[in-house]
Structure 1
Amino acid sequence: MGMATAKHVMKRILMMLAGYLVAILVGLVAVVAIYAALSSLPNAPAYFDVMGVTPIAALVVPPLGMFIYFLTIVVTALQTLIFALIAEFFSLRNVLMHMVFGAAAAAGGFFLIWPSSAEDMDPERWADIGIIAAAGLVAGLIYWLIAGREAGFRRPLSQL
């Protein structure tokens, strides 16, 4: 029974890692989509146009895209690991909780990149935080779809 438990824990760890890496990628796509959608609104600030077009450079220059992907992993890894471990230890499977965790992890990563953004009263910074958090909601949903629906290091009794 010990080996079966170890296999289950390893499976959960791999699912957490896969869920995280895919969620990061989808979250980055969500950021682009949100900026693009906002830039199409009437009277949208020109700033949204710039932010909506900038990610195209990441697609045209793959090393830049990989840098953005890995930078996002670096700035969100710790808080995401904490949230994922909490979900696994307590077998928390609620989709909304995972989405809120994703938004909090994304916003936390933004504050790591831009530490003065909390004091910066510039409306563009607040819009950025909201957009990043919204993308984190999407990433949290994707994580839940891949790894969160079956969260729990302890196996269900039916599998023992």
Structure 2
Amino acid sequence: MMLAGYLVAVLAGLFAVVAIYAMLSSLPNAPDYFSVVGVSPIAALLVPPLGMFIYFLTIVLTGMQTLVFALIAEFFSLRNALLHMMFGAIAAVAGFALIWPGASENPERWADMGIIGTAGVVAGLVYWLIAGRDAGFRRPLFERA
């Protein structure tokens, strides 16, 4: 379930990024590239290899840290939704830092890091719904009714 949860969570995170940028592009004084990112899924739908490239790139950028977080959650039987959402945000921001190396020093990228972190929260929630609620190698002795 970990792999299925991760793949669906990445897809949900990508949808969340697009939705957040689309909503923020309607705000006054929003940067111009917000509207470009908000309509970019149309290009990904018209050119499926582009969409698959974005999906694969996201998996490559967030895979290692997500694997570490998932193994920690499994080993310690961490089933808290907020913890999975925090893990998703950290993994997403870390993946963003891999693609934008100097993002933390550039004040223009702080908004992007917040948006990506919020999408990571959504992805963490989706992962928790699929695989995180039953995390852990240890199972309780008695099932609760």
TM-score by shorter chain over 0.5 = yes
**Structure 2 partner of 1:70:** 56
Q: Percent identity?
A: 76
Where do residues 1-160 of structure 1 align in structure 2 (5 Å cutoff)? 15-121=1-107, 123=108, 125-158=109-142
- Distance in structure 2 (CA, Å) of the matches to 1:110 and 1:56: 22
- Aligned counterparts of 2:34 and 2:130: Cα–Cα separation in 1: 31
CA distance in 2, matches of 1:74, 1:157: 38
Structure with greater helix share of residues: 1
Q: Number of aligned pairs?
A: 143
SS at match of 1:116: coil
Structure 2 alignment gaps of length 5 or more = none
* Structure of higher CA gyration radius: 1
Question: Unaligned 5+ residue runs, structure 1?
Answer: 1-14
TM-score by length of 1: 0.85
Q: How far apart, CA to CA, are the structure 2 residues paired with 1:59 and 1:129?
A: 25
* Cα distance in 2 between the residues matched to 1:115 and 1:44: 23
Tell me the distance in 2 between the aligned counterparts of 1:111 and 1:45.
20
